[in-house]
Structure 1
Amino acid sequence: MGQDVDVLVVGAGPVGLTMAIALRRADLRVRIVDRAPGTNREPRADVLFPRAGEALAALGVGELIRTNAFEMRSARFFSDGRPLGRCTVGRLASRYPTAMTIEQNEIERLLAEELAGLGTRVEWRTTVMDVRPDTDHVSVSTRSPDGGTQTLTASWVVGCDGPRSTVRERLGIAYEGRPRRNMQVVQGNVVPTWPLTDEPGHGYFFLAPYRSIIAFPTPSGGYRVFCVRDDPDPTDGAAPTLEELRGLVAGASGIADLKLTLTEPVWLSRARFADRIAASLRRGRVLLAGDAAHSWAPIGGHGMNVGILGAHNLAWKLIAVHRGEASEALLDSYDAEQRRLARHVIRDMRMNVLEMLLPRWAHRLRAGVLRVSIPSEKFQRRSEWMMSDFGRHHRRSPLSWQRSRRGRLRAGDRLPDVRVLAGATALTPARPGGAGGPRDASVRAHELLGYDRWSVLVNAAHADAATLAQLRDACARAAAPMLVVPYSPAGRADGRLLGRPDDVVVVRPDGHVGLVARLDRIDLVRDYIATFLRGSARPRS
């Protein structure tokens, strides 16, 4: 039957808007609804880590966000008011090597405007009442702003409607997990008067027993102050006062004469959290993303980031299945990959030493360890890598085939964004001890990729014309678009990160490696294509 729309996205937060933009760029018919009266005015989440920056860039909105954000450059650490040291960032190989501070309401405004430019506007004050999946469509009952109801049909529905998701509840999918005990998060947007340096991109950590406070400047003015603390009165649900927030910061920082002034819009929040993951992220033609799929305490600030990465993971798969370019195994892989990612983030953030609520003796031990560790270049590099989300992988995904000798690059990994020589430059003979072609002709590896296709990377020095012809013939048999890309590493270190020179690396549209195999085993590339990319569409020439 003909549907009213290809995809209905429920929820117009950062995840829903990211999802809708990805689908519209592929020319799918998209509607996006939200029961809210308009774009959120509450700042809420306010940090995008490097991997989320790369994901947004792949969808064409990375620079839009970056030009409206502060890039985080450094942080100073204090324990009971005494300095522990300073960490700097920016070492990572990426177009987005640093985290960005930009508040959620501004992200939503920018993405909603971008989506409107693609021909789709958010339908505000529209409430989803019921969701009924069928074999070839989904029926969705909605209530419009004037109180009227209607039923529309969509080929697919993606629920991005938050932790109290109507879509998830109507499908009867359990939201498994438990609350965090003896922990609350107090936040506020303020302008501080203190004897510290105020500079965009440079923030502060203040550690104390049962307290962890982070303060970073925001592009809208002032600082976002984020305080993880104990919960002596779990029945207190009132928003914190400015004086309460001042007392928490002054006590942890040792700045007795600290003054705080509220910014506009006023943002003072007290919240308690649970760690939860939906029992399934797919029920036929309905899928869950963002907080509808998983939520946890905002330790480390990765909630919005993981939701955006989930949309980045799901959109290309949904596009391929909808077009008949791939089997529905791709959608099942989204469920497996995203649920595993959420579990790992929850586990890792429970071990985040900077935001643990520690008694005095353990807090003193932490301070001693950090005082020694923070000046270490190795410690700073490792911390930067962990917070970037670059190490988050899908190695256990059904889409990840490792068919080569064990090396640094594994199937399921994010392709490293190192410098390479591509195109005609990559095919020129290599100079002894170096790459073929001038250094300034290099590009980043992610520039060889495309969100609208699969990429097959081969080291040009090990791929003769016959091998390239066989690879292109194999890719032409896929229903999904695939491009063979010869490259040369710009340097030895870059080459090592991209695997062995005689490997062929098949890269998914989202930048994760699907297959690593020896270049003389092109039959494995054919098998991979036959397994996942035959679908029902005609093979591409």
Structure 2
Amino acid sequence: MATGAAPMGRIDVGIVGAGPVGLFLGVLLLQQGLKVRILERREGRSGRSRAIGIHPPALAVLDRAGLAGPLVSGGIRIPKGVAYSRGRKVAELPFQGDPGFPYILAVPQPVTEQVLEQAVVALDPEAVIRGADVRSLFDDGGAVTIRAAGPEGDATFECRFLAAADGAHSLVRRRLMPRLGVRPYPDSYLMGDFADGTGHGNQAVLYLEPDGIVESFPLPGGIRRWVARLGAPDRGSTAGALAALITARTGVPVDPSTTTMLSAFEVQSRIAPRMVHGRVMLLGDAAHEISPIGGQGMNLGWLDAASLAPVIGAAHRGERVDHDLPAWEKERIRAASRASFQAGLNMVLGRPMQPALLSARNRLFASALKSTAVAGLVESRFTMRGRPSPPAARDYPAAV
């Protein structure tokens, strides 16, 4: 794999960002025979595991590309979620609405990125260029020229299309839309991974408590991720502080000495009103940053890529895509808005509440879930099955 870059000629598609979304788009385009270069500022993959949940619609498009198998093998299948409040079970919700993938899959992000990068490299060992920091881009209407600085000097690429999948702090988006603002939320969280001593097995568990929600999800290797809502932004809490908070709210003992990850985050959202800028496309968090609560962001980016790849492939074959790109943009902005709304509801569910009001809400929630129709609707929202599938008119080939 190249670690730097020398000046080179025209390529079909440049991708900025070698995270899960950029790598997946690279796989889909390489499978169609396009010449792709994925430019990543970091020298190596991050070892931090933030995004862990893979929802059924994303598993379906990953499966079509031949990628679901190794992820399923390396992950934990979560068949249902269970809600507790003050020591009592409130309700449970099976994730069985999708017959192909009747679960949410939990996979550490480094594992996901490794699987995707291996797939890219198998198709083209030179496709991923690390240490390439994009400094400028110019779209002349016929091609996009990008300049990237790397350890071996500057490199210039000319590509028919450029896809920016460089995350919430996207340099490409800032160049194209410098005044795009963000919407802050009054929600802050602290999360950590600890040895799992809960006895909940493969279940996701929500603790709906008066002082705020605590969530937990199983991970491979006997690990469980905990996410707790805070009353104020974190200012340097330790694993011991998070473990104590979890136990105080839920009664579940957590051993802080077993922590393998600790991270705090505050919530904001930003949805670009345009994802297509001439021959430059924004996707994933670069186009729509939403709350991590609910685990939709990475999945949303994969669905962006799954429906964009066949359009780019059609353009590569000489077909006109004048109407396809605006249609892609419209649908993906609509999907991002729905996901952002759902994430907002998830955060409201987890905010502090007076005990009497919390009990009343929990009873209402439990009663509603006894209805098959309501349970199905809630399940489809939590597993993202309410999102339309990528259009089949411009299909991409299965892995060979």
**Corresponding residue pairs, total:** 388
User: Aligned equivalents of 2:38 and 2:346: distance in 1?
Assistant: 36
Residue 46 of structure 2 corresponds to residue 45 of structure 1: no
Residue 239 of structure 2 corresponds to residue 242 of structure 1: yes
Q: 1:29 aligns with which of 32, 35, 46?
A: 35
Query: What amino acid sits opposite 2:190 in the alignment?
Result: V
Per the alignment, residue 142 of structure 2 pairs with: 136
Q: 2:189 aligns with which of 177, 180, 185?
A: 185
Q: Using CA pairs below 8 Å that are at least 6 residues apart, which structure has the higher relative contact order?
A: 2
User: Aligned equivalents of 2:257 and 2:302: distance in 1?
Assistant: 32
Structure 1 segments unaligned to the other structure (5+ residues): 394-413, 416-450, 455-506, 512-541
Q: Give the TM-score of the pair, scaled to structure 2.
A: 0.90
Deviation at 1:89, TM superposition (A): 2.7
The DSSP-based 3-state class of the residue aligned with 2:312 is: helix
User: Aligned equivalents of 1:176 and 1:292: distance in 2?
Assistant: 13
Per the alignment, residue 376 of structure 2 pairs with: 381
Per the alignment, residue 258 of structure 2 pairs with: 262
Residue 99 of structure 2 corresponds to residue 105 of structure 1: no
Per the alignment, residue 294 of structure 1 pairs with: 288
Change (3 A) 1:244 1:510: farther
Residue 360 of structure 2 corresponds to residue 365 of structure 1: yes
The DSSP-based 3-state class of the residue aligned with 1:311 is: helix
User: Aligned equivalents of 2:373 and 2:347: distance in 1?
Assistant: 17
Question: Structure 1, residues 311-359: CA drift from partner, whole Å, max 9, x if none?
Answer: 1111111111232223222112222111111111111222237843132
**What are the within-5 Å matches in structure 2 for residues 8-407 of structure 1?**
8-93=14-99, 95-120=100-125, 121-146=127-152, 148-172=153-177, 174-181=179-186, 183-193=187-197, 196-199=198-201, 201-231=202-232, 234=233, 236-238=234-236, 240-255=237-252, 257-263=253-259, 266-352=260-346, 355-360=349-354, 361-374=356-369, 376-393=371-388
User: Aligned equivalents of 2:215 and 2:349: distance in 1?
Assistant: 9
Deviation at 1:364, TM superposition (A): 2.5
User: Aligned equivalents of 1:204 and 1:296: distance in 2?
Assistant: 22
Question: Structure 1, residues 184-236: CA drift from partner, whole Å, max 9, x if none?
Answer: 1211111144xx4242x2232111124111111111431111223332xx4x4
User: Aligned equivalents of 1:368 and 1:261: distance in 2?
Assistant: 37
The DSSP-based 3-state class of the residue aligned with 2:141 is: coil
The DSSP-based 3-state class of the residue aligned with 2:213 is: strand
Query: What amino acid sits opposite 1:82 in the alignment?
Result: R
- Check whether the contact 1:317–1:330 (CA below 8 A) recurs between aligned residues: yes
The DSSP-based 3-state class of the residue aligned with 1:6 is: strand
Change (3 A) 1:12 1:135: same
Deviation at 1:237, TM superposition (A): 4.1
Change (3 A) 1:123 1:369: same
The DSSP-based 3-state class of the residue aligned with 2:199 is: coil
- Check whether the contact 1:48–1:99 (CA below 8 A) recurs between aligned residues: yes
- Check whether the contact 1:90–1:97 (CA below 8 A) recurs between aligned residues: yes
Question: Structure 1, residues 261-296: CA drift from partner, whole Å, max 9, x if none?
Answer: 434xx3100111211012311111111111110101
Of residues 382-391 and 345-354 in structure 1, the stretch that sits farther from structure 2 once superposed is: 345-354
User: Aligned equivalents of 2:212 and 2:379: distance in 1?
Assistant: 23
Change (3 A) 1:279 1:91: closer
Deviation at 1:92, TM superposition (A): 2.6
- Check whether the contact 1:207–1:252 (CA below 8 A) recurs between aligned residues: no
Q: Give the TM-score of the pair, scaled to structure 1.
A: 0.68
Change (3 A) 1:145 1:171: same
Of residues 290-299 and 216-225 in structure 1, the stretch that sits farther from structure 2 once superposed is: 216-225
Deviation at 1:248, TM superposition (A): 2.2
Change (3 A) 1:38 1:355: farther
Deviation at 1:118, TM superposition (A): 0.6
- Check whether the contact 2:196–2:222 (CA below 8 A) recurs between aligned residues: no
Instruction: Quote the RMSD (CA, aligned, Å).
Output: 2.3
The DSSP-based 3-state class of the residue aligned with 1:331 is: helix
- Check whether the contact 1:9–1:159 (CA below 8 A) recurs between aligned residues: yes
Change (3 A) 1:323 1:187: same
User: Aligned equivalents of 2:347 and 2:46: distance in 1?
Assistant: 32
User: Aligned equivalents of 2:53 and 2:131: distance in 1?
Assistant: 27
Change (3 A) 1:354 1:213: farther
User: Aligned equivalents of 1:375 and 1:167: distance in 2?
Assistant: 47
- Check whether the contact 2:166–2:286 (CA below 8 A) recurs between aligned residues: yes
Structure 2 segments unaligned to the other structure (5+ residues): 1-7
Deviation at 1:375, TM superposition (A): 5.0
- Check whether the contact 2:213–2:352 (CA below 8 A) recurs between aligned residues: no
User: Aligned equivalents of 2:396 and 2:367: distance in 1?
Assistant: 39
- Check whether the contact 2:25–2:305 (CA below 8 A) recurs between aligned residues: yes
Deviation at 1:258, TM superposition (A): 4.2
- Check whether the contact 1:242–1:262 (CA below 8 A) recurs between aligned residues: no
Query: What amino acid sits opposite 1:294 in the alignment?
Result: H
User: Aligned equivalents of 2:169 and 2:341: distance in 1?
Assistant: 22
- Check whether the contact 1:174–1:278 (CA below 8 A) recurs between aligned residues: no
User: Aligned equivalents of 1:372 and 1:252: distance in 2?
Assistant: 24
- Check whether the contact 1:65–1:107 (CA below 8 A) recurs between aligned residues: yes
**How many percent identity over aligned positions?**
27
The DSSP-based 3-state class of the residue aligned with 1:324 is: coil
